[in-house]
Amino acid sequence: MPRFPIALALLALLAPAVHAETPATAEPSAPSVAADPVRPDKPAHKPYLTGTGVPDTVQILPAPPASHSTLEAADRAAFNATRAMKGTPRWEMAATDVAEGAAAILETFACVLGTRIDQARVPAVITLFERARLDIAAGTRGPKVHYRRLRPFVGNEAPICVQRTQALADSFSYPSGHATQGWAYALIMAALVPEKATAILARGRAYGESRVVCGVHWLSDVAAGRTNGSVIFAALVGDAAFRADLDRARAELAKVLAGERKPPDQAFCSREADALKSPGLEF
């Protein structure tokens, strides 16, 4: 059974009720994993997995917490407690983590890698990530439609780190597509740069947890997304075309990392490091 930190639970009980507020600058809402077009234009626009190689994630993932269950109470406590993070470095990181896709994930791992990477310099990496994203979208779509779980901000006016839109409210919450994508990409990136696997996977975990901090997913959505990402990555590793592209991307990325570097913004990386020092959300 998942554990939930006592301190977080107490914070949920003690935190004052949140009220609606209009942000000074509204952040755009990110499209779903499936809606955002695959880029760049040249690579094959088809998933790696087909036929029996496609995992049935509806059968693999557990159902979301039942209404009035202990796990649903933990979900609600996490949502309420993390509203108090608004204005903190962790909230700022959650807003940054709204961006998704291959180019965005390179930025997500820039501080970990110690360099910003222009996507034009790594076409094999971009192709690998964007083609895998089709498999990630397919593996996320089934459970979302099957369970049709509402997002945590629906029916209340608590602050979230993106603009509230009807499209976002109408999309389904379980499992988290961002968490699925973030964890699958972290696993792929760790395979590309194994010497930095620990830092990459820690950042990938935080990327998923940003969805809870942001207020757009329940804690259990993110836990399911992490499992979902692992399932899809395991299936991808079994595909010969994926493994060939992975090898090409690894050689390409190694060459770029060994060359002239473009350091990421140090102030931003310092804030990210501070945010990552805070305890992770527990499942």
Count how many residues are written for the chain.
283
211 noted as active-site residue: yes
Instruction: From the candidates 75, 135, 221, 245, give the one annotated as an active-site residue.
Output: 221
The string of DSSP codes covering 157-178 is: ----SS---HHHHHS--SS-HH
Instruction: From the candidates 178, 205, 226, 250, give the one annotated as an active-site residue.
Output: 178
Tokens of 158: 């608590």
Instruction: From the candidates 131, 149, 203, 211, give the one annotated as an active-site residue.
Output: 211
Asked if 186 contacts 204 with a C-beta cutoff of 8 angstroms, the reply is yes
CA distance 128 to 233: 12
Fill in the amino acid letter for 164. R
Instruction: From the candidates 217, 226, 250, 271, give the one annotated as an active-site residue.
Output: 217
Asked if 175 contacts 225 with a C-beta cutoff of 8 angstroms, the reply is yes
CA distance 96 to 88: 13
Q: Could you list the active site residues?
A: 178, 211, 217, 221
